[in-house]
Structure 1
Amino acid sequence: MAEIDHIVLGARTLEEGAAFVTRLLGVKPQPGGKHEGAGTHNMLVGLGPDCYLEIIAPDPSQPEPPQPRLFDLDDPATRLMLEAEPRLLGWVARTPSMDSVMARLGPRGGTVREMKRGDLAWRFAVPPQRQDMDNLIPPMIEWRGERAGRHLHDSHFRLTALEAEYPEDEALRRALDERGLGAALKVKRGPHPRLIAHLHGADGAEHTLTSG
């Protein structure tokens, strides 16, 4: 069974993303690292041992990548949106068996890549471009050994719900079910694609991140 691994907040720069999260949640994101060859880098906020918030932005120290950056960071509409403020862009789902998922999905599952940074190693598969239903269909990750969330300080915030709105809600449900994610995301029909994350703090504070 697949499940939510982390949610992804996009920003023009990591500095802008970190400042936004600090203002919103009152916690300071931890340094993450570079995604070599992908043209991005990140910072992280622990949401308990099994989930985290990733802040992702283009990495100016890397050359332009051969493929578009993840989560539509190169898309002009996304860039324009992030000029106003950082926004929730997507999410990543964790699976214990990438091979079985990819065998079931075939080409629709994307290409599996082996990745490593420091002591962390993982396999990652991104849906083919423009087949992700506006980032509502998540990339899949299979951790090799301990996963990133176990290395992060606990912010004492928890992801209590992740919701999606989509004009073709039944098609989205079917795509999620194929990946074993039918219970991970609450789906309802809406005029525009939208992802909504609900965060709950230990002090009772409630915050919402949205993609639009």
Structure 2
Amino acid sequence: MVAQFRDRTEAGKQLAAQLMAYRDRPDVLVLALPRGGVVVAYEIAGPLHDALDVMVVRKLGTPGQEELAMGALAPGGLRILNEDVVRARGVSQKAIDWVAAREQRELERREHLFRGERPPYDVRGRTIILVDDGIATGATMRVAILALKQQHPAHLIVAVPVAVTTTCDELAALGCEVVCLLKLETLYSVGGWYEYFPQSSDEEVHDLLKRASREQAAWLQKKAPM
């Protein structure tokens, strides 16, 4: 395995170059899956002059093998399960509910931390660019897509640096445009395709969202007619 991206910042810049058709469009909103997706999305929203916000979802890790997603949660109580993983690992309904309750608390904590009292952007009728730093099983991305579709965006683009080819096809089948720089037959670790892949902190995410908001406001003010 040879790393294809120096870090999330470089990956975001490469994705931005593929998304320039959406630059300067007031209907476009960039939504990032925290935490790592926010670092990538910040490099997209800036050059495109688009607003940036978070789409908080939580992976449901398989008991005893937390990195393996058995499902995911999104705001509004939406839950999806990877039935193949649940069956293969023999996960009980009680264990699923326990993990889901724990992750629901963390989802609510992060939403408040990253957004405060500010409500989420209205996505109805808008073009949404949904960003993460990579897709392995696709569980968190799928639940984010399903949650967004309930709000009726006009168009939904999934933008990621690296993902499994079959997962990209599955997301496209959900009605999404998929922009992926590196498609692979198998993907055991997203971080393996980066030279530098530290865990992003809550503070870093919060800071990037604030910076993006200031930059967007400055651009809108500059664009406004005198």
TM-score (norm 1): 0.28
TM-score (norm 2): 0.27
The structure where helix makes up a greater share of residues is 2
Larger Rg: 2
